[in-house]
């Protein structure tokens, strides 16, 4: 019995320090240590070992739970931001709805733009933020939205904001921290939208992609091929993480300079957690943490590999009363759309 307890204590100490290492390591900016931000992917996988150890210590040594309770506290936000616990609301509780959707340039299958257009109407989407939007194929979607802006203006594929409410100002945004003149440098735009009871600034972004294709995740059988492919993917991930760290500096500047409450939506190509996510949470709320519901995982290739991870975020100003946020279980792209519903501001009560 003593030997078993010694093994459990040794494992528990290793689990505790691994949680600390991953947690604090992921808080390092990606442009300082490329790849550090990707450590937050591991957070959900640490949850169950801590829970199992708590059950074991509750039976044999309750005084040893302390390390696991600290571990769970460190995992709280990253895990809650991945696995929803909320419930959907009735339509009467919704004032307006915003969706963020990487549409994969409408290449998933023939006629997909019309399918997405019908979906936006059935879901009553008032503001639609799209990434990887191919403008030449977007007419079915645009037909339902009288107000629309594109960024960058001179590119065939980019981001777009469609609105049923008037857009009073808009523009393209540039990630100045990115040196090379690439899509990652220009993949953002904003629109100031006049709602019935407020004016907001919607910032729509598409952060640097890992560049990993679905075929890259097909692991070969030989050890040499597995190692070679692993090194290839690690280099891609580290380079893109460095770019996202730089892009985060621009995003914080845009949020701070906004004259209106901000809704930040887009494909972040990163899971909630780590340095970029923490910086955003200092300014904005993540409705998914306490108001999330619906399907798990926003990127279907990862979901099909057994990793239900969310890389699409919509963060909102705390002044805006959001109701629920959920992933719609549709397959019009290689992403799932993330939908956020908002309620009307509460009128102050008179004395």
- 118: domain CATH number is 3.60.10.10
pLDDT surpasses 70 at 182: yes
> Which of residues 55, 80, 105 is at a domain's end?
80
User: Residue 111 contacts by C-beta under 8 Å, 6 or more apart in sequence?
Assistant: none
In a domain, 288, yes or no: yes
Separation CA 327–CA 300 (nearest Å) = 12
pLDDT surpasses 60 at 287: yes
> Which of residues 49, 80, 111 is at a domain's end?
80
Task: Report the pLDDT value the prediction gives residue 29, as an integer from 0 to 100.
Answer: 74
In a domain, 348, yes or no: no
Task: Report the pLDDT value the prediction gives residue 272, as an integer from 0 to 100.
Answer: 87
**Banded model confidence at residue 184, pLDDT cuts 50, 70, 90:** confident
Do 55 and 146 share a domain, yes or no? no
pLDDT digits (tens, 9 = 90+) for 9-42: 899 999 998 898 888 777 777 666 766 667 777 8
**Banded model confidence at residue 343, pLDDT cuts 50, 70, 90:** confident
99-113, 212-226, 323-337: range with lowest mean pLDDT = 212-226
Do 60 and 112 share a domain, yes or no? no
Q: Domain containing 204: what range?
A: 95-342
- The total number of structural domains in the chain stands at 2
pLDDT surpasses 90 at 228: no
pLDDT digits (tens, 9 = 90+) for 242-281: 788 888 889 999 999 999 999 999 999 888 888 888 889 9
Do 113 and 73 share a domain, yes or no? no
pLDDT surpasses 90 at 114: yes
In a domain, 90, yes or no: no
In a domain, 71, yes or no: yes
Task: Report the pLDDT value the prediction gives residue 208, as an integer from 0 to 100.
Answer: 85
- Can you tell me whether residue 254 is helix, strand or coil? helix
Do 149 and 181 share a domain, yes or no? yes
> Which of residues 52, 80, 108 is at a domain's end?
80
pTM of the model: 0.86
Question: Taking Cα atoms as reference points, which of 215, 234, 221 lies closest to residue 301?
Answer: 215
Angle at 207 (CA atoms; ends 190, 88), nearest 5 degrees? 75
**Banded model confidence at residue 235, pLDDT cuts 50, 70, 90:** low
Report the pLDDT averaged over residues 284-299.
90
Interior/surface letters 60-73, b for 16+ CB within 10 angstroms, e for the rest: eeeebbebbeebbe
Do 72 and 146 share a domain, yes or no? no
Report the pLDDT averaged over residues 127-141.
95
> At 10, phi and psi to the nearest 5?
-65, -45
In a domain, 15, yes or no: yes
Task: Report the pLDDT value the prediction gives residue 350, as an integer from 0 to 100.
Answer: 46
Report the pLDDT averaged over residues 184-193.
93
Do 196 and 237 share a domain, yes or no? yes
Q: What is the largest CA-CA distance in the chain?
A: 75
Task: Report the pLDDT value the prediction gives residue 253, as an integer from 0 to 100.
Answer: 94
Separation CA 251–CA 187 (nearest Å) = 12
Task: Report the pLDDT value the prediction gives residue 210, as an integer from 0 to 100.
Answer: 65
Task: Report the pLDDT value the prediction gives residue 351, as an integer from 0 to 100.
Answer: 40
pLDDT surpasses 60 at 203: yes
In a domain, 350, yes or no: no
């Amino acid at each position: 019995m003593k030997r078993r307890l010694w093994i459990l204590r040794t494992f528990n100490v290793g689990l505790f320090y691994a949680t600390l290492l991953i947690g604090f390591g992921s808080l390092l900016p990606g442009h300082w240590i490329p790849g550090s931000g990707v450590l937050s992917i591991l957070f959900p996988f640490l949850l169950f070992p801590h829970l199992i150890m708590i059950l074991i210590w509750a039976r044999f040594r309750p005084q040893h739970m302390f390390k696991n309770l600290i571990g769970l506290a460190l995992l709280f936000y990253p895990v809650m931001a991945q696995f929803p616990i909320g419930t959907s609301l009735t339509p009467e509780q919704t004032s307006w709805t915003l969706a963020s959707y990487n549409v994969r340039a409408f290449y998933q299958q023939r006629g997909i733009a019309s399918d997405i257009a019908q979906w936006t109407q059935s879901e009553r989407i008032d503001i639609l933020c799209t990434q990887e939007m191919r403008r030449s194929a977007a007419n079915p979607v645009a037909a339902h939205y009288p107000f629309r802006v594109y960024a960058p203006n001179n590119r065939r594929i980019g981001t777009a904001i469609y609105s049923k409410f008037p857009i009073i100002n808009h523009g393209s945004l540039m990630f100045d921290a990115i040196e090379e003149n690439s899509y990652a440098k220009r993949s953002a735009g904003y629109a100031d939208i006049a709602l019935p009871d407020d004016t907001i600034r919607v910032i729509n972004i598409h952060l640097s992609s890992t560049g990993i294709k679905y075929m890259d995740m097909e692991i070969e059988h030989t050890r040499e091929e597995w190692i070679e492919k692993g090194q290839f993917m690690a280099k891609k991930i580290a380079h893109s993480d460095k770019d996202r760290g730089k892009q985060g500096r621009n995003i914080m500047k845009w949020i701070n300079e906004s004259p209106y409450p901000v809704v930040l939506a887009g494909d972040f190509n990163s899971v909630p957690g780590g340095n970029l996510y923490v910086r955003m949470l200092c300014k904005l709320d993540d409705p998914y943490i306490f108001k999330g519901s619906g399907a798990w995982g926003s990127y279907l290739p990862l979901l099909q590999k057994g990793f239900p991870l969310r890389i699409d975020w919509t963060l909102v100003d705390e002044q805006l009363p959001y109701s629920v946020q959920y992933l719609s279980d549709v397959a019009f792209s290689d992403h799932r759309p993330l939908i956020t519903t908002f309620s009307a501001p509460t009128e102050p009560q008179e004395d």
